[in-house]
Amino acid sequence: MKISKEEVEHVAVLARLKFSEGEIERFAGQLNRILAYMEQLDKLDTSRVAPTFHAVAQKNVFREDTIQSSPGLDLTLSNAPDPERGFFRVPKIIE
């Protein structure tokens, strides 16, 4: 499978990214090299390899859920730079 420059441009449009012509060519080349490597891996015989989800054995490291009281509204907003009517006021970032 080969990725064309048009496909890279299409994905860039979907992701709302703008690339120069040189960047598009570079990304297409890099993606094609990745796919070529994956094709090499497809040729390996993995029939005797047990399926795993992680290369290193893992254990559950989560703590037990415990019910705790939350700090009050006044304490929560005490460090807020600009609280307004019980809420955090933040600058507008979307025009």
CATH number of residue 33's parent domain? 1.10.20
pLDDT at 36: 93
Distances (CA, A) of 62 to 31, 59, 65, 81: 37, 9, 9, 33
* pLDDT tens digit sequence for 35-51: 999 999 889 998 898 88
pLDDT higher than 80, residue 58: no
* pLDDT tens digit sequence for 62-92: 888 899 999 999 999 998 988 999 999 888 8
Domain that holds residue 29: 5-42
pLDDT higher than 90, residue 24: yes
Mean pLDDT, residues 8-37 taken together? 96
In a domain, 65, yes or no: no
pLDDT at 55: 78
Number of domains making up the chain: 1
pLDDT higher than 80, residue 32: yes
Q: Are 3 and 32 in contact (CB under 8 A)?
A: yes
In a domain, 88, yes or no: no
Higher-pLDDT residue of 4 and 51 is: 4
Give the CA count within 13 Å in the CB-facing half-sphere of 51.
0
pLDDT at 15: 96
